[in-house]
Chain A
Amino acid sequence: MIADLTETIVKILFIFSINVGFYAPILGWVERKQSALMQDRVGANRANIFNFKIIGLFHPIADAVKVLTKEDFIPEGADKFFHTLAPFLSLTPAIVTFAVIPFGGAYELWGHPVKLVIADLNVGMLFIFAFASLSTYGVVLGGWSSNNNWSLLGGLRASAQMLSYEVAMGLTLIGVFMVYGSLRLTDIGMIQENFFRWGIFMQPLGFVLFFTCAIAENKRAPFDQPEAESELVAGYFTEYSSMKFVMFWMGEFLEIVTISGIVTTLFFGAWHLPFVTDQMLVSFFAGAGPNGAALLAMLVNVVVFFAKVSFFIWLMMTIRWTLPRFRYDQVMRLGWKMLLPLALINIFITGIVLLV
């Protein structure tokens, strides 16, 4: 009982500090440096503490403190309650969804079985979908409660876009579930111990479709219609200032991390290195005693998992700074007329292959 509780708390603290403490601030910096790289600039590097500059890593701190000390603004005629609630609604799902994503295998520590996932739900993927839909509310409420035309338009666009792409995304994943026969993400991770059963080999089309839909869900360029600066000022968060504005942003960044986590888990072998099973890791570290071996194997799992996650984060950043923004009708056409039929075809082909 106590052991279970400790285990859960440790895992929650670990994931929370990785996501909110590490990825959220560092992604702000990565985004800036990535944009600088793509545009052949140097990028932020002047902020210094006692003349230490460490390649601009102090800029996120400067941004955070400045934003905290900026005036918090609620527009006249806005719905105060919902205006304040919206940023929380869009940040929370991004943090919560990581609970079902496994970041390592199952081991035994001091006679106590440990699974490196916070909540091992048998409906893991459905849980993620449910919470991803919840973040739509944050966006729509933010747009509606601001009492501003542009915000409202941005909110409407966001809801239409997120709902349309959710359909295609759900259908894409059906192919994955048909192959693995489970919605539980730890099971899917376990099956991918075999390199040739990685999702990318079983469902190549599924991966491309899912990744596209996930970027669209995330509302970043080339799908940043809801906050199109050239049309809607700043979209649904036009009237947000200070910390609330940054919460929308952090939500977006954490969603990137979550999406990368899901992609890694479903398509890129989760926490596994190619051709290396968890048993091999444990026996490789056997010299450190049973508990030590399990701990070291866990460490390798976690490092491998987050290395893959970081790779996909980098990929999404590159896509974001490479492609221009689509027109709104193009976004909708892509979602309904191309991705959705392709997802259906994918299911069909997967079914045939499984039957044969």
Chain B
Amino acid sequence: MGITTAFSTEEPLGGSVVLTKLEAAINWSRKYSFFLYPFATACCAMEFMAVGGPRYDLDRFGAALPRFSPRQADLLMVVGTITHKQAPILVKVYNQMTEPKWVMAFGVCAVSGGFYDNYATVQGIDTLIPVDVYIPGCPPRPEMVLDGLMKLQEKVTKEKWSDWPRGPAPVKMKC
């Protein structure tokens, strides 16, 4: 992180007008064009389908195209319980995604382990990978997911050049 900040173009130029405008334009495009990677492992996936379906329609926000290749995805949606067996796979998928990438913890299991307070479950995916937006609920209602997506869009508009690349996940795991 230190290196990226030191070499970022923004610091020496003090956020000049041109760069800020370009940044805003790119952030605008990024926030309306999330390609999803649905990492669906448990019951929350049903609710994910409901969000994608006709009634709530995630596509209105431009976030409908699921890419099942992590190379093409922007938004990793962790939908459901992550067990310790599953954890290395999640980290691997995160590392395989190309920058810029965002992570959404969908459902209380992904957020904190939820009521699975036991030896088998990861107590929140933020112990493995950086998370941008948490959506609690068991399962969260589609409205909450849409709210979470809009919060993420807000976050994306405030991003800077120097935020990228994020690099690989902080934890090292093999699978």
Contacts and interface: CB of A to CB of B under 8 A. Distances in A.
Contacts of A40: 54
Given A45-B60, A46-B62, A58 B32 contact: yes
B165 interface: yes
A272 to B, nearest CB: 39
A313 to B, nearest CB: 19
A63 B33 contact: yes
B59 A41 contact: yes
Contacts of A36: 57, 59
A314 to B, nearest CB: 19
B160 to A, nearest CB: 13
Contacts of B53: 39, 41
B5 interface: no
A225 interface: no
B8 interface: no
Contacts of B30: 62, 65-66, 69
User: Interface range on chain A: under 10, 10 to 19, 20 to 34, or 35 or more?
Assistant: 35 or more
A64 B46 CA distance: 31
B72 A61 contact: no
Given A39-B54, A41-B54, A47-B62, A66 B72 contact: no
A245 B33 CA distance: 15
A47 B69 CA distance: 25
Given A32-B64, A69-B26, A70-B100, A238 B71 contact: yes
A47 to B, nearest CB: 4
Contact of A42 (B28, B31, B33, B60): B60
Contact of B62 (A41, A62, A69): A62
Given A62-B28, A62-B33, A71-B165, A233 B68 contact: yes
B29 A65 contact: yes
B120 interface: no
B2 to A, nearest CB: 20
Interface in A47-88: 47, 58-59, 61-67, 69-73
A222 interface: no
Given A44-B60, A59-B33, 5 more contacts: A44-B32, A44-B62, A73-B98, A229-B66, A234-B69
Interface of A: 32, 35-36, 39-47, 58-59, 61-67, 69-73, 229, 233-234, 237-242, 245
Interface of B: 25-26, 28-33, 53-54, 57, 59-62, 64, 66-69, 71-72, 74, 98-100, 165
